[in-house]
Amino acid sequence: MSDLRSLLQRLSPFADPAIMLLALLLSLQPLLQDQKVPAWGYALVVAQCLPLVARRRWPFAVALLCGGLTAVYGVSSLPDPPVPYAALVSLYSVAAHGTRTRAYAAGLIAAAGIVASLLLDPAADLGDATFLLPVFATAWLLGDAARRRRELAAQLRDRAEQLERTRAAEAATAVAAERNRIAREMHDVVAHHLSMMVVQAEAGPVAVAGNPDRAVSAFDAISAAGKQALTEMRRLLGVLKDGEQAPLRPQPGVDDIDELVDGVRSAGVDVSLHASGPRRELPAAVDLSVYRLVQEALTNCVRHAGPTHVEVDLSYTDDAVCVTVTDDGVGAAQEPRPGGHGLVAMTERVTLVGGTLDAGPQPDRGWRVRAVLPLRAGNPA
């Protein structure tokens, strides 16, 4: 099929000259059978058919010229052909390739020309009218149908191209969203575990001098935090350095907050965890967001606030879960580090699930982060 289409495209420049020659040969047949036809008769037939080579470029002008010369031929004494081929082809062409306005105008002019030539021809009768008018009407309708099909095909091509552009844009948006998601996850994972490792490493020299057993625990905690960070990063990136499949595990959620709190306690921070209200099944996005919010808030406490005590409260209602993390660190004196993205990441997470976030220093001392996450999309937070 593609070879045939390619062949037709290569031959398309010769289509109109071939149609012109065919119309000319058919139109000359009545004249060739009559030995008394003057030379101007042959010239008139040639003049009717010759403009057909430009029927696609100037369809309306060709239709007027061919139609007018056909009308002149009809009222002359020359022998009539079975069908006025040149006029029919030109009328079809203007309906198929011209504008709609010019197509209608050419149809009306053709009808008026046929009626006028029949009235001027004394040999014409009703049979000629009942033959010519339907034949020309059919040619016009066929051309109009061809134009409609071509317009429909163009619309379908434009629609397909638009769909392809939309699909490409959606794919690019999905890639960008996935990159942002991975960036948020990587930020939370790396910031938390590295903070725990730094705290344990800073306590290591003191522990070595005063309490060797505690030093061993500190180094074990550093090792565990590093391994967990690597595992989570490999899971996020999907591949290991040596090409093996990364070990799979579910995304962390509320059930993993106890383990998270224990890790912070091992760094020497007193953390208490409280939950109130009936425990509810959380949507996956909310479940992960609760865990990451607590993780990021605890990381900020350890890195910036220097607290002795941190409280983590989870409160469940019928349509939302409230997360509150409060510390007794430097509070109002705490200054966010330049370039930090902790609060930005938390805000993005809460916004993605339709919740609200409030974070800032407390009046006396300490820092509080409070987030309300709806359990269903569209619920007011």
Q: How confident is the model at residue 353 (pLDDT cuts 50, 70, 90)?
A: confident
What integer pLDDT is reported at residue 338 of this predicted model?
40
pLDDT at 313: 93
pLDDT at 87 over 70: yes
* pLDDT tens digits for range 104-160: 888 888 888 888 877 876 666 677 777 878 888 888 899 889 888 988 988 999 999
Is the model's pLDDT at 214 over the cut of 70?
A: no
Pair 219, 204: CB distance under 8 Å: yes
pLDDT, tens digit, for every residue of 236-287? 665 444 444 545 556 788 888 888 888 788 777 888 999 998 887 888 888 8
- pLDDT surpasses 70 at 67: yes
Centre a 10 Å sphere on the Cβ of residue 303 and count the other Cβ atoms it contains: 18
pLDDT: which is higher, 338 or 200: 200
Tell me the percentage of the chain whose pLDDT exceeds 90: 8
Q: 232 falls in which pLDDT band (50, 70, 90)? A: low
Tell me what pLDDT residue 337 has: 42
Q: Tens of pLDDT along 24-36? A: 888 888 887 777 8
Q: Give the confidence band of 356 by pLDDT, cuts at 50, 70, 90.
A: very high
Q: Sketch out the chain's domains with CATH numbers.
A: 14-162 (no CATH), 254-381 (3.30.565.10)
Q: Does the structure show a pLDDT above 50 at 381?
A: no
Share of the chain above pLDDT 70, in %: 69
Q: In what order do the strands lie in the sheet with 309-316?
A: 270-276, 309-316, 320-327, 367-374, 356-361
Q: For 246-306, what is the HEC assignment?
A: CCCCCCCCHHHHHHHHHHHHCCCCEEEEEEECCCCCCCHHHHHHHHHHHHHHHHHHHHHHC
- Look up the pTM and report it: 0.48
What radius of gyration, in Å, describes the C-alpha atoms of the chain?
Answer: 43
The pLDDT tens digits for 296-339 are 888 887 776 666 788 999 999 888 999 999 988 765 444 444 44
pLDDT-derived band at 341, boundaries 50, 70, 90 = low
Average pLDDT, the chain: 77
- Contact present, 48 and 40 (Cβ < 8 Å): no
pLDDT band at 201 (very low <50, low <70, confident <90, very high): low
Q: At what angle do helices 126-210 and 284-300 cross, to 10 degrees?
A: 40
Give pLDDT tens digits for 35-60. Answer: 787 888 888 888 888 888 888 889 89
Give the torsion sign (CA, 219, 225, 227, 233): negative
Q: What pLDDT is attached to residue 344?
A: 75
Question: For position 187, what pLDDT does the model report?
Answer: 65
